[in-house]
């Protein structure tokens, strides 16, 4: 299950909103099925550079905008097992980074952030390869039609 929030300052075509929401929901369900669960809960907030910069400064002590932040919720002792956490993506940064279009960049950032919520990281080359492979599998499943499969 996903909850998509788009800040008032962000203007996206409705079709892009619907497509991104559908694809993120497929990725989240595919991740849950991979982990032998029926579904996970994830929220995605699309915002601007000033907002993500403030979040990055307050939570990561990095006073600069970034493309995606992931706030995992299942790391505490009282955490609900199906509640993965929150993703925040800067549309401003995504637009600057987009080489294959904004839609492809947003899907890439969402899959990257989702992998962080699932516990992946990229502190070294081996971790990065593993994380990138899982993100790619999730994006492939997002693009498929039909019944969601584990990824």
The kind and range of the H/E element at 133 are helix 125-143
Class of the 2-143 domain?
alpha beta
Give yes or no for residue 18 having a pLDDT over 70. yes
Give yes or no for residue 77 having a pLDDT over 80. no
Give yes or no for residue 81 having a pLDDT over 90. no
Give 47-56 pLDDT, tens digit per residue.
999 999 999 9
Distance CA 51, CA 66 (A): 10
Asked if 133 contacts 111 with a C-beta cutoff of 8 angstroms, the reply is no
pLDDT the model gives residue 76:
65
Give 101-128 pLDDT, tens digit per residue.
999 999 999 999 999 999 999 999 999 9
Give 128-143 pLDDT, tens digit per residue.
999 999 999 999 999 9
Burial of 8 (0-12, 13-18, 19+ CB in 10 A): exposed
Write down the domain spans for the chain.
2-143
pTM of whole model > 0.75?
A: yes
Distance CA 11, CA 1 (A): 24
Give yes or no for residue 80 having a pLDDT over 90. no
Distance CA 39, CA 131 (A): 20
Give yes or no for residue 78 having a pLDDT over 90. no
């Amino acid at each position: 299950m996903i909850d998509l929030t788009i800040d008032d300052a962000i203007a996206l075509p409705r079709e892009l909103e619907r497509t991104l929401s559908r694809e993120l929901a497929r990725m989240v369900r595919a991740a849950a099925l991979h982990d032998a669960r029926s579904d996970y809960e994830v929220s995605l907030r699309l915002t601007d550079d000033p907002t993500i910069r403030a979040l990055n400064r307050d939570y990561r002590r990095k006073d600069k905008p970034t493309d995606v932040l992931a706030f995992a919720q299942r790391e505490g002792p009282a955490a609900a097992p199906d509640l993965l956490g929150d993703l925040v993506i800067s549309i401003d940064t995504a637009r600057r980074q987009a080489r294959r279009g904004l839609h492809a960049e947003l899907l890439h950032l969402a899959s990257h952030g989702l992998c962080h919520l699932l516990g992946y990281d990229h502190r070294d080359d081996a971790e990065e390869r593993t994380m990138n492979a899982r993100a790619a599998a999730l994006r492939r499943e997002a693009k498929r039609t039909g019944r969601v499969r584990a990824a």
